[in-house]
Amino acid sequence: MRVTGAGVLFSVATDSYELVVRELREEFGRDLRCERVSADLGRIVEGAPPIAELAVCCDEGRIMFVRHLTREIASFAPDDVPPPYELAELVLAEVPRHPSVLAVQTWTDGAGTGGSYYHLLAEGLGARGVEVTRSGQDNIVSCFVTDKVVLLGLNERQHSLSDWPGGRMRLARAEERVSRSEFKLEEAIATFGLDLRPGGKALDLGASPGGWTRILRQHDQEVWSVDPGSLDPRLRGDRRIHHVGTTAGEFFRRNQVRFDVVVNDMRMDQVLSARVMLDAVPHLRRGALAVVTLKGGGRNPLDSARRGLDVLAKEYDILHARQLHHNRRELTVIGRRP
């Protein structure tokens, strides 16, 4: 068994690990050293900043490709995992005050959930009088499982970036869903705690077939859905959805409405997509919220994303920029019109 309080574990998309290492070194210096634990998990082994400081950098978008953070407290070979009461002792030794409840989150480097380890931790903590849930608590116990190592981590929820195991948010695939893209907007709203004022007016650029429009309507927005393509037939009977079958540029030339929120999930180059968002600014109220996905790809996706952010920053205060679980090779950027 290895016990340590120095390592910081971070989860990433499988093809974004090197981007994260570059971001971390640019932000905290070349002495920072990382090692890859698994396809979507890395460990900072030297030069790690305080995890609260690292979380702020991620939350503000200075580091964009980290999805989840935890402070490593122990690691074991799979056949050397201690019994439940010892696991509980390791966890409770790291919590400032004996808690009445903790969140325990387990995940693996494959398709499994690591459920057996969840039950081990729940058993040990329960015997010490600690109730266990899977989310929604101030402190999160993380347990990551591979065929070579079991890692145990602990972090405050406010510094974890996501309240899902390893940042892997799971959303139900309900029949009423219009498209997979809905997951991206749902995750952004939940992860960043976005406040969509009930009864507001929303603009959905590149709306077809209407997935983001449907999510906006769930948050009581009246939506102008702009796209030459059609919307899903299930949306057409909603009188608070206004489908404008044209391009964004043509819409802006004729529009007289002022919007509380604008969203953009169009498939285009990062800079071009950001420029479309600048065109939207005269049509937004002060303080309006903006949500845009900057598509990845190319030989240098980090620099491309930064160019898109630089364009957006000309007219928006950038609140968040992060590669979320449902983004794949994209970034979700949250801005606000000053």
243 vs 207: CA distance, rounded Å: 9
The amino acid occupying position 326 is H
159 vs 9: CA distance, rounded Å: 12
**Which run of H or of E encompasses 190?**
helix 182-192
287 vs 303: CA distance, rounded Å: 28
Residue of 137, 128, 142 whose CA lies nearest to 102? 137
* Structure tokens that stand for 108 in this block: 């693996």
314 secondary structure, DSSP code: T
- Catalytic (active-site) positions: 295
226 secondary structure, DSSP code: E
* Structure tokens that stand for 248 in this block: 């964004």
Burial 283-299 (b: 16+ CB within 10 A, else e): bbeeebbbbbbbbbeee
Task: Report the half-sphere exposure of 195 (CA within 13 A, side-chain side).
Answer: 5
C-beta separation of 105 from 164 below 8 A: yes
* Structure tokens that stand for 276 in this block: 């479309």
**Tokens 């948010």 correspond to what residue?**
169
164 vs 171: CA distance, rounded Å: 11
Task: List phi, psi (to 5°) of 328.
Answer: 60, -115
